[in-house]
Amino acid sequence: MSGKAAARRTVLKGAALAGTAGLGVAACSTESKVGHAKTPTPTAPVDLGDAEAVPADGVKLYREERLVVSRSADGEYKAFSAQCTHAGCVLDKIEKDEGNCPCHGSRFDVRTGEVLKGPATVPLPKVPVRTTKDGKLIAGPDA
């Protein structure tokens, strides 16, 4: 094998790796930003269904709706955007009241919206939430 052919093969191998890396980034940006939206909070009321789905003194992540709702022991509900304030990914899980962003590892106190770990520096925006007479949870404007 000539030195020229080996050098060419190295260049092609590098291009293939760069292509793979590029796909990885693209996959990350599309998969991890499910629900990514320009507005981090609802612009219209969102019906979250049965209010009892949020456990007493617990938290529930509504990933599709990009919301996280907590309920105190005495029944007070609070809602925050579940869209990370760093680059807009949606939180993927909650562990002990800490919401995790899958993109760069930010963590938030989902009962207060406070940033617990960066790179995010801005708290999760609060979202109005209320229960209806028939026991549904409504979040967003006019809630």
Contact footprint for ligand FES (CB under 6 A): 84, 86-89, 101, 103-106, 119-120
Rounded CA gap, 6 and 15, in Å?
A: 14
> Of the two residues 115 and 138, which places its CB atom closer to ligand FES in the complex?
115
* Choice between 79 and 120, CB closer to ligand FES: 120
Distance separating alpha carbons of residues 83 and 102, to the nearest angstrom = 11
For residue 15, the minimal CB distance to ligand FES (Å) is: 29
Our CB check for ligand FES shows the closer of 66 and 71 to be 66
The Cα 82–Cα 35 span in angstroms is 10
Asked whether the beta carbons of 103 and 89 are under 8 A apart, the reply is yes
CA 114 remoteness from chain centre: 14
For the bound state, the minimum distance from the C-beta of residue 86 to ligand FES, rounded and expressed in Å, comes to 3
- Pick between residue 22 and residue 118 the one whose CB is nearest to ligand FES: 118
Q: How far is CA 81 from the centre of its chain?
A: 8
Q: How far is the CB of 37 from ligand FES (least distance, A)?
A: 13
Determine phi and psi for 62, rounding to 5 degrees: -105, 85
> Of 58 and 92, which CB lies nearer to ligand FES in the complex structure?
92
**26: exposed, middle or buried (C-beta count within 10 Å: 0-12, 13-18, 19+)?**
exposed
